[in-house]
Structures are given as structure tokens and as C-alpha cells.
């Protein structure tokens, strides 16, 4: 079964599927080893790893190159975060086949204006394009894919923009009608109340997708019980874990005046060599170096 088929099946199976964020092939590999079902090719994480805001500062090419590197480092499906699609429906038509060719199994596209501002920042610029315009972008994405199993996920930022449930539902239904395979409903409320209200009211047929960063108390068991959600995305936990771990180790080395204290607590150099894929390279050496 191809990765696109596996992803499509998983999000419609009735059993909740999980995706962990990654900002490079190493973080993707760690997520795969931890047992997540898919990789979330997060724009927020890639921006953070370049120390720039998540506001279309990085080019589409930079994101695409990283998606290609991630997709070739893991065997599980990659869900690429294409932000607003890097322009209008014309741009989307050209971008989607490039993400497919890079090895992604899905794209998530959000209904904000280009250039976007990040969703979870207080007081960010959260302007949405017209519903009809975004329907055109979703239809363009669906038509541009070469593999019919490639998954197109429409993300509405109506709740993020403070436009209310009615607008969020109207947009989500319009995006389903335009050909979206799933709807990502995003919220930055610190309780799950507005997302739960949306899920309860959702009359559509396609599965919903959640990114519970702002309301972390909602567990996978809770989400599974809701019945309408096919995928949960952990949006930024790789970069936050990395920042926390690096900061703690760097501080200790400064405080202790050397690496003696931290050395035994860190993953060994041998472990990093394993993660680099050393075994594969040694196999090539043994077979072909003469």
C-alpha cells in the first residue's frame, strides 16, 4: 500500500490517527521511532528552526526542500503544511504537484490571506480570504494532484479570527463541497469548548482534524470518543522539546564549566551515529567498495 493510500485509509478508519511535528529529517525519524502515524511538516517549526516568524518569511522552496528531505528519511506519511498555498489558486495548482513529487502524502492549506501571520500568537493579523476564493484554491489543489489518494486538507481559521461558529461551519461545509478530503478546525482558545461545539455541530461527511496546542488537556481518548475526528496533529512539540533540552544542557555546561556533568545524561555519540543511518552506509560499503 502506498503512503497516500495508508494515510487516506487511516484518517477515515474511525480510529484516531496521530501526526507529530518535525522540522528536519532527524526530528521526523525520532517521531517515527516513537510510534506516531504520520509526520506534520510544520511551517511554525521550520520557521522557528531558522529563527524567523511563521509568517511566510521563508520561501516555498525552503519548505519544499525540507519536506523532500523528511519524506526520504521516514517510511510513514508526511502531511505538508503549505500555509495559504503561497498565493492564489494558480499558485496552488503549481505547488501541489511539487509537494507530491517531494514525497508528501497530504497538504494542509489554510483560508488566510497571503502573507499569513502565525495562528497562535495573541493579536496576530488573522485575515481570511473570501469563502468562494478558498473553494477555488481547494478545487485547484484537488485537481492538480496526480495521485488520486493524495489527501487535500482544508483548514479554516474562522475561529482563530474570531468570526464565530456559524462562519466556521459555513466555511468548512463550503470547503468540503469544493473537494476537501478533511477539514482542520483550528482554535487558540485555552479550553476545548469552541472546538467541541464545532465538532458537535459538524454536519459534514469528511473527517475533522485537530491541532490541540492551545487546549492540551484534550487527550487522544477524549478525541476518539467524539467520533468525527480522524487526525490529531501535535503542532510544535518537536521544536519546543528541542529548545527546552538544548537550553537546559547549555546552561549546565556554562554553570559547571565543562561537559563532565551532562555527558552521561545525553544520548551517546554512538546513538547519533545510528540515527544518521550508519548501518545502511556500512551495508553499501560491504557490498560495493572494492
Q: Does 4 bind ligand SPV (CB under 6 A)?
A: no
Neighbours of 226 (CB within 10 A): 17
Alpha-carbon span 223 to 229, nearest angstrom: 7
How many residues touch Mg ion under the rule CB under 5 A: the total is 3
* DSSP tag of 215: -
Instruction: Tell me whether residue 43 or residue 103 sits nearer to Mg ion (CB atom).
Output: 43
The long-range contacts involving 59-63, CB below 8 angstroms and separated by at least 24 positions, are 60/86, 60/95
Q: Is residue 84 part of the contact set for ligand SPV (CB under 6 A)?
A: no
Known active-site residue 278: no
18 binds, among ligand SPV, Mg ion, none (CB under 5 to 8 A by kind): none
Span interacting with ligand SPV, options 72-80, 85-93, 112-120, 137-145, rule CB under 6 A:
112-120
Q: Which listed range, 42-50, 128-136, 141-149, 168-176, lies at the site for ligand SPV (CB under 6 A)?
A: 42-50
3-class SS of residue 43: helix
Q: Tell me how many residues contact ligand SPV (CB under 6 A).
A: 14
Asked whether position 81 contacts Mg ion by CB under 5 A, the answer is yes
Q: Taking contact as CB under 5 A, which single stretch among the options 40-48, 201-209, 251-259, 262-270 is the one that binds Mg ion? A: 40-48
Partner whose footprint covers residue 236, from Mg ion, ligand SPV, none (CB < 5 to 8 Å by kind) = ligand SPV
- Nearest-angstrom CA–CA distance, 123 and 156: 18
Q: Work out whether 44 is an interface residue with ligand SPV (CB under 6 A).
A: yes
Beta-ladder partners of 79: 40, 106
How many Å apart are CA 245 and CA 239, to the nearest integer?
A: 10
Residue 187 touches ligand SPV, criterion: CB under 6 A: no
In Å, the largest CA–CA distance within the chain is 68
Helix segments in the chain, DSSP class H: 3-11, 25-34, 43-49, 60-73, 89-101, 131-144, 165-177, 193-201, 220-226, 237-256, 260-263, 269-275, 278-288
Specify the stretch interacting with ligand SPV by CB under 6 A; choose among 94-102, 113-121, 173-181, 258-266.
113-121
- Structure letter (DSSP) for residue 214: G
Q: Which is nearer to ligand SPV, 80 or 248 (CB)?
A: 80
Q: What is the DSSP string of 59-115?
A: -HHHHHHHHHHHHHH-SS-EEEE-TT-SSSHHHHHHHHHHHHHTT-SEEEEE-BPSS
Contact present, 84 and 114 (Cβ < 8 Å): yes
Residue 235 is a binding residue for ligand SPV (CB under 6 A): yes
Pick what 126 binds: Mg ion, ligand SPV, none; C-beta below 5 to 8 Å, kind-dependent. none
Which residue's CB is nearer to ligand SPV, number 45 or number 111? 45
Instruction: Check residue 41 for interaction with ligand SPV (CB under 6 A).
Output: no
Among 32, 81, 176, 181, binds ligand SPV (CB under 6 A): 81
Nearer to ligand SPV, 119 or 131 (CB): 119
Return the residue of 213, 230, 231, 237 that touches ligand SPV, per CB under 6 A.
213
Q: What is the contact surface with Mg ion in residues (CB under 5 A)?
A: 43-44, 81
Which positions touch ligand SPV (CB under 6 A)? Answer: 21, 42-45, 54, 81, 118-120, 211, 213, 235-236
Catalytic positions: 54
Amino acid at each position: 500500500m502506498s503512503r497516500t493510500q495508508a494515510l487516506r485509509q487511516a484518517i477515515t478508519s474511525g480510529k484516531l490517527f496521530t501526526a507529530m511535528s518535525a522540522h528536519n529529517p532527524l526530528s521526523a525519524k525520532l517521531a517515527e521511532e516513537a510510534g506516531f502515524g504520520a509526520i506534520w511538516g510544520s511551517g511554525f517549526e521550520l520557521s522557528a528552526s531558522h529563527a524567523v516568524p511563521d509568517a511566510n518569511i521563508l520561501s516555498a522552496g525552503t519548505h519544499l526542500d525540507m519536506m523532500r528531505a523528511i519524506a526520504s528519511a521516514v517510511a510513514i506519511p508526511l502531511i505538508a503544511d503549505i500555509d495559504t498555498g503561497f498565493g492564489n489558486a494558480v499558485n496552488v495548482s503549481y505547488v501541489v504537484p511539487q509537494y507530491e513529487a517531494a514525497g508528501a502524502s497530504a497538504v494542509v492549506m489554510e483560508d488566510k490571506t497571503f502573507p499569513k501571520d502565525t495562528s497562535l500568537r495573541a493579536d496576530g493579523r488573522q485575515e481570511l480570504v473570501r469563502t468562494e476564493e478558498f473553494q477555488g484554491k481547494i478545487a485547484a489543489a484537488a485537481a492538480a494532484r496526480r495521485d488520486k489518494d493524495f489527501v487535500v486538507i482544508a483548514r479554516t481559521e474562522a475561529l482563530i479570527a474570531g468570526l464565530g461558529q456559524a462562519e466556521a461551519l459555513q466555511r468548512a461545509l463550503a470547503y468540503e463541497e469544493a473537494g476537501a478530503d478533511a477539514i482542520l478546525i483550528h482554535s487558540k482558545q485555552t479550553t476545548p469548548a469552541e472546538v467541541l461545539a464545532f465538532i458537535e455541530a459538524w454536519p459534514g461527511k469528511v473527517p475533522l482534524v485537530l491541532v490541540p496546542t492551545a487546549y492540551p488537556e484534550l487527550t487522544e481518548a477524549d478525541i476518539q470518543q467524539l467520533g468525527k475526528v480522524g487526525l490529531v496533529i501535535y503542532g510544535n512539540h518537536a521544536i519546543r522539546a528541542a529548545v527546552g533540552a538544548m537550553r537546559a544542557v547549555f546552561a549546565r555546561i556554562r554553570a559547571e564549566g565543562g561537559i563532565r556533568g551532562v555527558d552521561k545524561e545525553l544520548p551517546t555519540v554512538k546513538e547519533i551515529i545510528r540515527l544518521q543511518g550508519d548501518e545502511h552506509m556500512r551495508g553499501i560499503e560491504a557490498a560495493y567498495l572494492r
